[in-house]
Every structure is written in C-alpha cells, then in structure tokens.
C-alpha cells in the first residue's frame, strides 16, 4: 500500500524536486511525482509563494528562482516601536525576511510578502506603515507574528535565531503552529 503524503510533506517534496531539476517542471510532472493532480500542485505552488518561495511559472513549467539555500520560520513578539530593531537583526546577520504572517483565531493564517533584504527595504516598509492608513499585521495578534527568513546557510539562521532570542523577540511555537511549516529547505 502506497503512503499518502501530508500537504506539508508534499510541498517540501515539490521544493526538493524543483531545486534538483535542471529544467522547468510541469504541474503534471510534479503531480505525478507527489501522487496528486495538477490542480493540487497549482494550489501547493500558491501556498509556497505565500510563504516566500520565489517560484516562477514559465511556459515549460515551474522553476524556483532562489539564491538562498536555507529558510526557517521564526515566531516573534514585539511592539510597533521594535519593528526596525527586529528586522535590522535579521538583515545585519545575513538573512532576508521573506514574509510576515499572523495566526488569527477568528480569521486564520494571514500573510504578506515582504522580501526585505536591506536596511533601505526596512525604511521603505516603516515609511509605508507610518504614512499609510494601514497598520502592521502584528497588531492583529497582540504583537505575535511569524517570519520566513532565508539565508545562505543554516548556520546563519542559527545566528539569527540566537540574536532574536537574546534580544527578547523570539517566542516558542505552540504545538499546532508547526504542523504545516516547511523548515530549512
């Protein structure tokens, strides 16, 4: 009897297949490799994109356009006034903040791509929050939120994690928060 992959396992497998491929992979080919339909693969690709993975659809199939080798999900907690400090820690240690996500009890998971790679990107975000009519997602969940952070090595992610912890930003995951997470691709 063939074992059925969970959604998280399947998306991790899709990422592995795309990273190992020398040419674009069609939705049908990815579906065949993971035991699901092309339509399910399209949904998985959409979910992976919302998690910050730079997946590009071409006429010949999907490719992943990433220069980073490792991605980790961090759960953090802080105030609006600490956004800049938190993001500077990540950027200064060599990370790239792919997205921001909250896990709202009424609305579920909500995320927004950030693609912050420099202090200039941080200033642009802060200026947009300051001059716009919107507020940071962390305000929906009393300061608790998540970031997918990409880096060249797992060791850099370890440094970022340690620094976030030492600065009081890192918080523990609740058991149900990791079930659909993809770690260190």
Q: Render pLDDT for 38-51 as a digit per residue (tens, 0 to 9).
A: 999 999 999 888 87
Average pLDDT over residues 97-112: 87
The more confidently predicted of residues 112 and 165 is 165
In tens, the pLDDT along 48-60 reads 888 778 888 888 8
Mean pLDDT score across all residues of the chain: 88
The more confidently predicted of residues 65 and 37 is 37
CA distance 97 to 79: 18
Contact 72, 178 (CB under 8 A): no
Above 90 in pLDDT, residue 171?
yes
Above 50 in pLDDT, residue 185?
no
Select the CATH number that applies to the domain covering 70-178 from these four: 3.40.50.1100, 3.30.1340.20, 3.90.1150.10, 3.40.640.10: 3.30.1340.20
Above 90 in pLDDT, residue 103?
no
Proportion of the chain above pLDDT 70, given as a percent: 92
Task: Report which of 158, 70, 141, 44 is spatially closest to residue 100, judged by C-alpha positions.
Answer: 141
Task: Report which of 175, 179, 165, 97 is spatially closest to residue 137, judged by C-alpha positions.
Answer: 97
Task: Report which of 78, 123, 114, 108 is spatially closest to residue 95, judged by C-alpha positions.
Answer: 114
According to CATH, where is 1.10.10.10 located in the chain?
A: 7-64
Average pLDDT over residues 16-43: 92
**pLDDT for position 184:** 43
* CATH classification (class only), 7-64: mainly alpha
**pLDDT for position 2:** 60
**Confidence tier at 102 by pLDDT (50, 70, 90):** very high
**pLDDT for position 63:** 87
Its pTM surpasses 0.75: no
């Amino acid at each position: 009897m063939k074992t059925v992959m969970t959604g998280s396992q399947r998306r991790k497998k899709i990422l592995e297949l795309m990273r190992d491929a020398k040419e674009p992979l069609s939705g049908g080919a990815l579906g065949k490799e993971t035991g699901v339909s092309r339509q399910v693969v399209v949904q998985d690709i959409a979910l992976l994109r919302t998690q910050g993975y730079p997946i590009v659809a071409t006429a010949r199939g999907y490719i992943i356009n990433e220069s980073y080798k490792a991605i980790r999900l961090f759960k953090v907690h802080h105030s609006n006034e600490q956004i800049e400090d938190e993001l500077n820690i990540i950027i200064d240690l060599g990370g790239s903040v792919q997205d921001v996500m909250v896990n709202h009890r009424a609305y579920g998971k909500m995320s927004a791509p950030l693609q912050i790679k420099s202090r200039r990107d941080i200033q642009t975000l802060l200026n947009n929050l300051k001059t716009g009519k919107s507020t940071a997602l962390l305000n929906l969940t009393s300061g608790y939120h998540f970031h997918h952070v990409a880096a060249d090595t797992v060791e850099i992610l370890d440094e970022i994690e340690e620094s976030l912890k030492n600065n009081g930003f890192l918080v523990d995951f609740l058991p149900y928060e990791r079930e659909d997470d993809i770690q260190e691709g």
